[in-house]
Structure formats: C-alpha cells, structure tokens
Amino acid sequence: MKIDLLITNCVLLPVPGAETLIDPGFVAACGSHILQSGPMSECPTVEFGTVLDGQGQLAMPGLVNGHCHAPMTLFRGLADDLDLTTWLHGHIFPAEARTVCPEMVYWCSKLAAAEMLLSGTTTVADGYFLEDEVARACAETGLRCVAAQAVIDFPAPGAEDPRKNIEVAERFLARWQGRHPLISPAVFAHSPYACGNDTLLRAKALARRRNVPFFIHAAETRDEAGMIAEPLAPTPIGHLAHLGLLDRDTVCVHCVWADEQDLDLLAQSGAGVVTCPQSNAKLASGRAPLAAMLQRNLRVGLGADGAASNNSLDLFREMDFVAKAHKVQPNNAVAVPAARALQLATSGGAEVIGLSAGHGTLTAGSVADLILIDLAQPHLQPLHRSRLPVYSGCAADVRTVVVNGRVVIHNRRLLTIDLQETCAQVRRLAGQ
C-alpha cells in the first residue's frame, strides 16, 4: 500500500455535520486522494512518505468559501459603514477603475489565498475581472479555486469593449479548463441589473456549452428588482427563471430578498445558493431566508464575499455568525444548527460550486483537502461534540493545511509562497 501522507493520533471528524468523532484516528493519503481513514487500531505502517503526528489536533475537511472576490483585499477598510449602493457606486467602482490591472489582481489574490489557507479554507469560488491572474495566484499559493471570469455590460479591465465580454470569458475557459488540478474555470455574470438580458443568455449558453458553473449575484438588496433594465418578472430570481437561466449548474449568490415564490423556483430548478451573512449584514442588505431554504432542501453554501465588504475571509467567523444570526428572528434556536453550518462550509458548499462528491469529507476516495485544528487552545476545551469549531473556533487555531494531498501550511507557516513579499506588494499597490 503506497502512502504519501499519513496523519496519526488525531481526533478525526470524517463527515462534517455528523456527530462521529474518532479518537485517536488517522488519515492516509496517496497522491491527491484519501486512501483510508479510521481508528488508530487500523492505521497502516508507512515505509516512505510524510508522517504528521496529529496528537491533540482535530482533523477535518478543509473549509469551502462559496463566494469571494479575491483581488478586493486591496480595498479592505477603504469604505465601511455604508449601504451597498453607496458603497459600490460611490467608492468601490471608482477605486476599481483607478487600480485594477493584472498586477493588482495577481498580488491581491495571492494575499487573499494566503489569508484563506491560514484560516482553514482549502477551496474558494471566486469571481472577478482578469480572472487569469486570480487563477495563477491561487495555483501558486496552493488554494483550490473555482475561478469565474466576470461578465458585465460596461467597460471592465480585460474587457474594455463590453460587446466582447463573452468572447473574453470563452478564451479564459479555454485557457484553464483541464489545465491545472487546483483550478476549475467558470462564468460569473455580475447581476441581472449589470448585465442585460442578451448578455445573461449568452453567458449562460457559454457555461452550458463548456459544462462549467454559472455564478450570479441575485436578490442582494430590496431595490434590485427596480434596477433591472428589462425585467421579465417582479423579482430578480423570477427574472432569471423567465430567462431559463436556473438549473443545477447555476449558483445564485446572496438571495437576501428571495420571497416564497423565488424559493420555490430555486427548488424546482435545482439551482444552488451561496449565502454571505456577514457581508449582507455589514452592507445592511438584510438576511437571507436561510432556514426556509434548508426546509425546501435547497443546496446552500457559505461565502465570505470580498474583503472590502466583510472585512475578513475567515469562514470560522462566518459559520459562527450564520448559525447565531438566524436564531434571533423568529427566536428559533434550531433555525440553523451549528452542525448544519459546518456542513454548509464544507461538503454542502463543495457541491453547490460544482465540485464532485469526493470533496468535503475525510473518507476513502475523497479528495485530500484537510485541516488540523489545535485543540489545546483554552477556548476549545473540552471537546464534547464535533460542532465545537463553529461557536468556539477561530482562524488562529488552524495548524496544518493539506490541499490535494500536499501540505501547504505546517505549524502555521505557509510553505508555498513568500508571504512577507506578498504583503509588501499589496501595501505598495495600496500606496499608489
């Protein structure tokens, strides 16, 4: 039996959302996949390969950030305490017009990738302009990325002529599809108000033709329906449904103002949803009807959104917030249980963004994306249930990160890139 990586003596959480903990346990990986996991009594011996002692650490699947704009780390803290429309049109769009270029996207995405890995995220679904540079930064840093080229109906970096925005996206897909084990290309239509109906139809047709996910911001604010140039239904979700854009490969991000009929449309179509609770709260957009989505068995993932509107990319914070925020109204302590929040941030999110069933668990045949959490921290004592990291964990608890069978962080040290250089480059860009 060939084993490239063996983690021993850990507390093993093989399936997030389930209560099963194996202590002591092990995880054995061969190449990019998990070969075997279970109790130490069944642990194989290793002649060659890397062995990590997981004593006092929780081994669990890496977190999945279902929605992000990685380059926007440059704008972290630039415009706070504003509603979405003021924030976007008064601050972010002008800042992007001044600063977005391949160099900015590359270095700021590298910073985002480092932040995510250091906080236990092993996969991100990203959408932005010049997405080649996001993909390159994530590949170099060692972060798995569903990288979606942005499509929008006004001049944008890399697509200065909006009439060619679909061509730009198609060339991006051709460059990356099947080219790198960590990169899965996709299409990101910004929103039904920033993309006309013809653009939306052409973007979705491209995604279908290339068999890639199609992401779109939808129903993020109360006023969004009135911003659509040629509405075909009273709501943004209804508008997308009328255009025939909703199916299992469509991911609707936010859905804060999705009504009952919208939720039925999403359920009937099989479309996925990514909720970004902290970003929605910070921008005063509202709170998605997550409990109602889960009652309808919608496929839902959890996202941090961009660092400019959160302002962190830490999914531990996101899990804690999403589980607590939905308890407040209508005073339902089990509206979004902690175990479900953990599932949204792992296997649930992986499914929504188009990854295979082998993502988000630590069982034989699964992809070897995992993290080790330091259980010796005072705030993680004692360990009664597998859901402990949701309410008590934080980014600093992550000691080791493995992506695709490769150790990219060990003892909180990023092994793939020069983090100091990356931070210095981002500071330089911010100073310009």
Same domain? For 88 and 217 the reply is: yes
Q: Is 218 part of a structural domain of the chain?
A: yes
Same domain? For 16 and 123 the reply is: no
pLDDT of residue 408: 98
Q: Is 432 part of a structural domain of the chain?
A: no
Same domain? For 131 and 79 the reply is: yes
The label of the residue with tokens 């920033």 reads 194
Same domain? For 67 and 53 the reply is: no
Residue ending a domain, choose from 317, 332, 352: 352
C-alpha 109 chain-centroid distance: 14
Q: Is 131 part of a structural domain of the chain?
A: yes
Same domain? For 43 and 90 the reply is: no
Same domain? For 92 and 33 the reply is: no
Residue ending a domain, choose from 301, 332, 352: 352
Same domain? For 287 and 348 the reply is: yes
pLDDT tens column, 32-84:
999 999 999 999 988 889 999 999 999 999 999 999 999 999 999 999 999 98
Q: Is 424 part of a structural domain of the chain?
A: no
Q: Is 226 part of a structural domain of the chain?
A: yes
Q: Is 429 part of a structural domain of the chain?
A: no
Beta carbons of 326 and 287 less than 8 angstroms apart:
yes
Q: Helix crossing, 165-176 with 197-210: angle to 10°?
A: 20
Same domain? For 107 and 29 the reply is: no
Same domain? For 128 and 203 the reply is: yes
Same domain? For 258 and 336 the reply is: yes
pLDDT of residue 158: 95
pLDDT of residue 70: 98
- How many structural domains is the chain composed of? 2
pLDDT of residue 84: 87
Residue 294's identity, in one-letter code, is L
Same domain? For 127 and 48 the reply is: no
Range of the domain at 205: 63-352
Q: Is 49 part of a structural domain of the chain?
A: yes
pLDDT of residue 94: 92
Counting as low any pLDDT under 70, the low residues of the chain are none
Q: For residue 431, with 0-12 CB atoms within 10 Å meaning exposed, 13-18 middle and 19 or more buried, which class applies? A: exposed
Which residues are CB-contacts of 154 (< 8 A; sequence separation ≥ 6)?
162, 194
Q: Is 196 part of a structural domain of the chain?
A: yes
Same domain? For 96 and 225 the reply is: yes
